[in-house]
Structure 1
């Protein structure tokens, strides 16, 4: 039946908001892949948008629909702004034409369709490019295959071989599940579906990079080769294999290396008053003749044998619970045959945010830092764990963050934070694996004495020399007094006690100068590797402490 003369015909698109639906689908796919908690929100928003019959010209207009919050609307507006194809895709949803000129309908629709296809195809292709996150499971697999392909052109890898190479490029474990069904190895399915990795099935599956995978892996390597991560902040690249005459030295980069405090011969002699005299025979360990064992302070397990073992999910991890006099975690090298033990130069102090606040208020914070510094282990790591969204932690959160910043910058300690006990345990497990890779091929040497010339301490000597109530020298007590002052760090206290060994020597210096000279007496003393000044405020605080 012909239409009456003059009646208008309306053409409507089946999907009036095609571009916005495509944006939400991309968000939903990414949320599903990463197991994001936002997945239900994106799904609800996509369903409500697909059922809405009218065109929407901006992300703000979508706010009337169910599931659209402010962030999703802003995301759509930003995508709209950055895309060239949107003005056509969302501004011309309804086309009204006259029946007098029926040819104009097909021409106009064809024009819009052609422009949409020409504009959207490059952008759509660009959005579909998969790029794994730095140090993620997919990133590690690509880097591992790239490293292998450069050494062995055209040879594919089995799963176990690939995991061994890829693990050093990934912060998560390829063998231990992060959740019920997910581990870092789960990213392999996506890499294969994206055409970046080729799997060949023989008796065992083998994997190799495709041409696209090689191109992407090289691009990721160039982009991230200088990017810092927790692994290369704590470990440097392993040096060439040592000979027997070369003793193991500190494997940390200079960025977080902590040198031993300056000690006089008098101090070293006096230290023996509070430390039992142990045999000083040299202990040696050949490469691959020892195991790396994580030592956990038994107070971290609350001293209860019935407490669930948090490390049971790491079957290859060697660990023991013992009483530690300083720190909460450390690592030892234990000889496989005779059982002798040497302490590696790493110690971890774990603190929840509420414990950090209470330790600052009661003075334990500075005292613990002092004892960690004097422990003889060069590499001190503060492991900070969030506590119930960091509410009711005893002090304002900015104050705690400032204390951690001072610990990192002034004291030179490494600070690493986690948001749960599970991630804390995962960090310790990964540290143990990295230390095993770092030391297993090296020749170790140590004795029952303070570490010197790269030698390590025995565990027995380390624990007895770190006892909390041991007899302190005058200089050590002087340092503990100075650490109670605001703005004082271990480095500054060491610089002051290096110039003035005892409070008496400092008082004598104050007596020989005027008040103004005394207030600035310590201001120009140099401390730390950067040779910074102690500063006038600290100098004034010390002057007031000993003269008023």
Structure 2
């Protein structure tokens, strides 16, 4: 400080020049290397170096840099490893000098030396587990320090002498880029991806007919069973399907295209070689179908329902009465468990590329059939092998809803009406299968409202709610349920009794000697929307239109007052105060809760103006 400034009592400000010189030098070296290699990490490293240069306070560890721009956790951990290696290097040099009797550097010079020896840094960091996470930062190898970095300490001369033998081509960014690029011209699609499915399907076709090519429609139909993604429906939030991989296969010279209009595709010699390698590598990889159905005994070839059958074999009209009265008994091993799919869940049975049909075709061992279901979207039947006209419905029904469809059904009132019909269908186990849609955005209703509706469905209605992320997961869930029901009911004797088996807990595997089930025709006809409704059923549907009335509350009211006339007569005998609380003490649901005065008052004002005659 100048003496004349002190004599004049002037304020003198001091500013540190590079308070974190060591960290700055390491970052500047990384920036230079990233720029030379044209790495996409250059902007991040440049921003980190600039923010660190502007920071006026010294930082003891690199972990404190997390508050600055451009720093993330992995970069801070990397710099901390460099600092630890540098301190160990300085300590070893100090001890070595003391052992030889040489004068040691001052404490200040030891602590501010900005550049560690690259050999020490490399040796200490490469042996640590942190080096395994460097590729996520773009650093697949430990840091190496450039000898041209700025130094302000005599110790750096020793570092420069050591670094002369280090190759500049082995830097972290260069090795990371080499690893990312790989060998030029090599392409190997992932297992069960779009490219994999196309190559394997064309290979199978070439084995059947070597000189035959495939059209796009035929190729998509055959390739879908080898692919997890859909060839016709893009993922939520994406514009690409599994067919989008065809452009890459054409560019790589693995597939040839004959003409632009009505194009046909076939494998090249390189594509056939790659497809053979993929097919051989996948022989030991079990498919989802194998993992689900590999331990189920195979049935006889005479079984009428196979996995790929798409038929419309509804029971004949006019036979329900005789079938319901006739005695049906199915011994273990005499029947198959078949998944029934509502036709309305598909775009039509004649549409070969329907996503739902193509998803179910991925499971060759899944016995399924397409019917017109009056309630629910999926259910299971036990079908006799020798007498296929004998069909008994298992006590399980599935209602599938996509999140946008759920919001629409709540807005137009179908939500409560469908739940009411599911409760009255006679099948005890109702599963509400909900699929996410487009990251659950733009659904038409707030997401919390939809989640609350599903919670009410689980708690108040007693349904089992299952959530999936896509149609693929929903079909997988149904396939696993089919296997589970096959194991569960395969050892039972099934009989028709017009009522469902009392199976309150589907997690228990108690096997009774005989189970009474209803026939499929009786189930479907009794669940039809067009069947004549009783006065009580109409009264229940009327009450459900009121805000706050659930199925349990409507049933509690109609159990006490089966018809609107009986309720109006009860109101006619009461004054206004008594009428408003007439229904308040009625119990509903399994928890026997009261309906409450608010809802009782709403019902009273709806019916009290009517005069019984």
Q: Of 339, 342, 345, which aligns to 1:294? A: 339
Correspondence list, 1:103-252, <5 A: none
Conserved 8 A contact 1:12-1:95: no
Indicate the RMSD between aligned Cα atoms, in angstroms: 4.9
Q: Output the CA distance in 2 between the equivalents of 1:343 and 1:290.
A: 12
1:120-150 Cα offsets, whole Å, 9 max, x none, are 99x99xx9xxxxxxxxxxxxxxxxxxxxxxx
Q: 2:361 aligns with which of 306, 309, 312?
A: 312
Question: For residue 328 of structure 2, what is the aligned residue in structure 1?
Answer: 283
8 A contact 1:521–1:539 mirrored in 2: yes
Q: How far apart, in 2, do the equivalents of 1:357 and 1:307 lie?
A: 29
Aligned partners of 1:16, 1:519: CA distance in 2, in Å? Answer: 79
Alignment partners' CA distance in 2, 1:91 and 1:326: 73
Q: Secondary structure at the match of 1:306?
A: coil
2:382 matched to 1:333? yes
Cα deviation for residue 76 of structure 1 reads: 6.0
Distance 2:607 2:414 in 1: 23
The superposition leaves residues 332-356 of structure 1 with CA deviations (integer Å, 9 ceiling, x where unpaired) of 1112222221111111111122222
d(CA) in 1 for partners of 2:363, 2:67: 50
CA contact (8 A) 2:433 2:467 kept: yes
Alpha-carbon distance change, 426 to 452 in structure 1, aligned in 2, over 3 angstroms: closer
Query: 2:513 aligned with 1:464, yes or no?
Result: no
Residue number in structure 1 paired with 2:557: 496
> Could you tell me whether the CA contact under 8 Å between 1:12 and 1:93 is conserved in 2?
no
Contact kept in structure 2, 1:372 and 1:380, CA below 8 Å: yes
CA contact (8 A) 1:16 1:93 kept: no
> Are the structure 2 counterparts of residues 330 and 12 from structure 1 closer, same or farther at C-alpha, using a change threshold of 3 Å?
same
CA deviation after TM superposition for structure 1 residue 316, in Å: 0.9
Identify the match of residue 473 of structure 1 among 520, 527, 534: 534
Contact 1:56 1:62 in 2 (8 A): no
Q: Is the 8 A contact 1:446 1:455 kept in 2?
A: yes
Partner of 2:428: 378
The structure that has the greater radius of gyration is 2
- C-alpha contact (below 8 Å) 2:572/2:608 kept by paired residues: no
Distance in structure 2 (CA, Å) of the matches to 1:459 and 1:331: 9
Q: Give yes or no for contact 1:382–1:413 (8 Å, CA) kept in 2.
A: yes
Measure how far apart 1:431 and its partner are.
1.4
- How many residue pairs are counted as aligned between the two chains? 362
Which of the numbers 537, 542, 545 marks the counterpart of 2:603? 542
Say if 1:45 and 1:289 are closer, same or farther in 2 by CA, change over 3 A.
farther
SS in 2 for 1:417: strand
- Structure 2: stretches of 5+ with no match in the other structure: 1-20, 28-38, 53-60, 134-224, 231-282, 285-319, 503-514
Partner of residue 64, structure 1 = 70
Over 3 Å counting, the alpha-carbon distance change for 1:89 and 1:61 in structure 2 is farther
Q: Are 1:385 and 1:417, in contact at CA under 8 Å, matched by a contact in 2?
A: yes
SS class of match (1:501): coil
- Deviation for aligned residue 1:56: 2.8
Deviation at 1:177, TM superposition (A): 7.8
- Distance in 1 of aligned mates of 2:585 and 2:85: 67
CA positional deviation for 1:16: 7.3
Partner of 1:101: 103
Larger relative contact order (C-alpha < 8 A, sep ≥ 6)? 1
CA distance in 2 between partners of 1:531 and 1:479 (Å): 19
Q: What is the match of residue 147 of structure 2?
A: none
Gaps spanning 5+ residues in structure 1: where?
1-10, 18-42, 66-72, 128-174, 181-203, 206-274
User: Deviation of residue 325 (structure 1)?
Assistant: 0.5
C-alpha change, 1:363 and 1:16, in structure 2 (3 Å) is same
CA distance in 1, matches of 2:322, 2:572: 40
Q: Does 1:522 align with 2:571?
A: no
Residue 475 and residue 91 in structure 1: after superposition, are their counterparts in 2 closer, same or farther (change >3 A)?
Answer: farther
Post-superposition shift, 1:313?
A: 1.0
Q: Distance in 1 between matches of 2:473 and 2:460?
A: 27
1:528 CA drift (Å): 1.8
Q: What SS does the aligned partner of 1:539 have?
A: helix
Superposition TM-score, scaled by structure 2 size: 0.50
Distance 2:482 2:321 in 1: 30
Out of 395, 416, 421, the residue aligned to residue 471 of structure 2 is 421
